[in-house]
Amino acid sequence: MSPIPLVIIGGGPAGYTAAIYAARAGLHPVLYQGPNPGGQLTITGDVENYPGYRNGITGPAMMEDFQAQAERFGTIVKAGTITKVDFAAYPLELILDSGEKVVAKAVIIAAGASAKWLGLPGEKRLYGRGVSACAICDGFFFKGKTVVVVGGGDTAAEESLYLANLCQQVHLLVRKDHMRASKIMQERVLKNPTIQVWFQTEVKDIIGQETVEAIEVINPEATTRIPAAGLFVAIGHQPNTLPFLPYITVDHQGYIQTNPGTTQTNIPGVFAAGDIQDPHYRQAVTAAGTGCMAALDAERFLQQASRN
């Protein structure tokens, strides 16, 4: 089996940007879209903060543009999910969900991260219509309105503080009787007059058919409806790193670790881009930026390998 020069795993902003750069460099990349072609943007409504789309664009339409541009330069886009890898030897071996084996000289992992959800039926039905997992992405749409944030860690605190600058009222629901967030973040939340913290409180239901109208919550005292236009679930993300273990080094949260200033992982010839290696920003534009970096790093690796 002849090795493919470059395999890109993941069809989100990072993967497609890597494909655009790699294809233009003549690396003939093959991109596997994974279980959610287009990534999290395919379930996102309007995207107004990505440069170049001055009138905004829907998430699915933007990912169609990304794919078309990658294919224009010769990227081969394939359906399929990488479910297992063998990085113990070189070249690198990948196994698809169909059972097919693929061998590559270099690999860019851009499989993303998945938001953790509460498991309520209304989450999927109203996602993009009031339900969100990213305040920076969607907070603007709730300017002057009342929203609910769920979570007790630093992410929930950061989302609440960000939304407090835009919204009329922010209700922060914390499942336990205390927050897990750092002390300084807790102090900022508790001192902010726009944020009301509800301890020992969980979401029972999301009210609304076409859009979010209210959040039904339950705590030891009572069941209450909070009128709100939005629900932000901030209980964390899960990087999609399982297929790459135990070969790829990850941090305590499961995010792929890369060498500082690069996208190089602990395995020569394997690079990581996008949300799968980014626990902090999780934006389409930052994912695309690391996709560019990964393609350039892969190009240098392949050039050096060809000389040896």
List active site positions. Answer: 134, 137-138
- How many C-beta neighbours within 10 Å does residue 143 have? 11
Q: DSSP assignment, residue 260?
A: T
Tell me how many helices (H) and strands (E) the chain has. 7, 19
User: Are the C-beta atoms of 181 and 154 separated by less than 8 Å?
Assistant: yes
Rounded CA-CA distance 188/4 in Å is 51
Distances (CA, A) of 42 to 12, 18, 23, 135: 9, 18, 23, 17
Instruction: Identify the CA nearest to 277 among candidates 269, 266, 268.
Output: 266
List of residues 6+ apart from 230 with CB closer than 8 A: 130, 131, 132, 138, 141, 142, 145, 147, 148, 212
Tell me which residue has tokens 């196994």. 95
Task: Kindly report whether the peptide bond that precedes residue 91 is cis, defined as omega within 30 degrees of 0.
Answer: yes
The position carrying tokens 């001192």 is: 191
236: Cα separation from own chain's centroid: 11
- Please tell me the distance from the alpha carbon of residue 84 to that of residue 123, in angstroms, as a whole number: 30
Closest CA to 6 of 21, 244, 38: 21
- HEC profile of 143-180: CCCEEEEECCCHHHHHHHHHHHCCCCEEEEEECCCCCC
